[in-house]
Amino acid sequence: MNGAFRPYKGKWVIKEHTLAGSAGAVEAGDMIQVTSGGITVELGTSSATAIIGISVEDLANDTSTQTIRVLEPLSTECQFIGAVTDGAIAFGRTDSGRSCDLEDHEGVDTDTDSEHSLTIIRGTIATADGATTAGEGVFSIAQTLDKLNSF
């Protein structure tokens, strides 16, 4: 998997979901979330209420509903590597334990924490706030589908 997100540690399982017809094109490595109706899934956004996991396949833009395979963590202890496309992250464990949000389906916003959807484990490639190059880090999903009712 060569996309923006890839599993790093823990046990992950592939599950099938119904992709919303309005989701647009999906690439392997895109972050996937539950839609606001809770029946279908779509590309991850900055206002994600429940992140399902990471797409394992490419799907062309199609207005009809499609089945999508998603790599899902079996627990909140599972970790993944992802691009930091907004905000700053230090190399190492300086930012460890802070919660943050998705920027979109292809990156993390380490400076925003309104949805508390992700937890920073550590930075692997440092980046300064506003930098044109993306950083990278190890993260965990704080709001998995099984925890949705606790937020």
Task: Look at the chain and report how many structural domains it folds into.
Answer: 2
CA end-to-end span of the chain:
30
Same domain for 83 and 144, yes or no, is: yes
Same domain for 144 and 84, yes or no, is: yes
The whole-number pLDDT of residue 148 equals 53
The whole-number pLDDT of residue 68 equals 94
The first and second tokens of residue 139, run together, are: 């993260």
Same domain for 19 and 51, yes or no, is: yes
Residue 86 inside a domain? The answer is yes
The first and second tokens of residue 67, run together, are: 């089945």
Q: How many CA atoms lie within 13 A of 47 on its CB side?
A: 2
Q: Give residue for tokens 């802070």.
A: 98
Average confidence score pLDDT of the chain: 88
Per-residue pLDDT tens digits for 39-91: 889 999 888 778 999 999 999 887 777 999 999 999 888 999 999 999 999 99
Residue 10 pLDDT class (50, 70, 90 cuts): very high
Q: Domain of 92?
A: 79-150
User: Is residue 146 pLDDT above 80, yes or no?
Assistant: no
Which residues lie below 8 Å from residue 130, measured CB to CB, with a gap of 6+? none
**Length in residues, the chain:** 151
The whole-number pLDDT of residue 87 equals 93
Per-residue pLDDT tens digits for 14-32: 999 999 888 889 999 999 9
Same domain for 23 and 48, yes or no, is: yes
Same domain for 66 and 102, yes or no, is: no
Residue 1 inside a domain? The answer is no
Same domain for 90 and 57, yes or no, is: no
Same domain for 40 and 63, yes or no, is: yes
User: Regarding beta strands 107-109 and 79-86, do their DSSP bridges make them parallel or antiparallel, or are they unpaired?
Assistant: parallel
Same domain for 96 and 42, yes or no, is: no
The whole-number pLDDT of residue 84 equals 95
User: pTM for the complete prediction?
Assistant: 0.89
Final residue before a domain boundary, out of 26, 41, 73: 73
User: Is residue 150 pLDDT above 50, yes or no?
Assistant: no
Final residue before a domain boundary, out of 73, 88, 117: 73
The whole-number pLDDT of residue 151 equals 42
Residue 6 inside a domain? The answer is no
Same domain for 40 and 100, yes or no, is: no
Residue 5 inside a domain? The answer is no
Percent of the chain with pLDDT over 70: 92
Q: What does 69-131 look like in DSSP terms, one character per residue?
A: EEEEESSTT-EEEEEEEES-B-SBSTTTT-EEEEEETTEEETT--SS--EEEEEEEE-B-TT-
Report the phi/psi class of residue 10: left, alpha or beta, with left for phi > 0 and alpha for psi in -120 to 50: left
The first and second tokens of residue 82, run together, are: 């992802």
Residue 3 inside a domain? The answer is no
Is the Cβ–Cβ distance between 117 and 142 less than 8 Å? yes
Same domain for 64 and 91, yes or no, is: no
Rounded CA gap, 86 and 20, in Å? 26
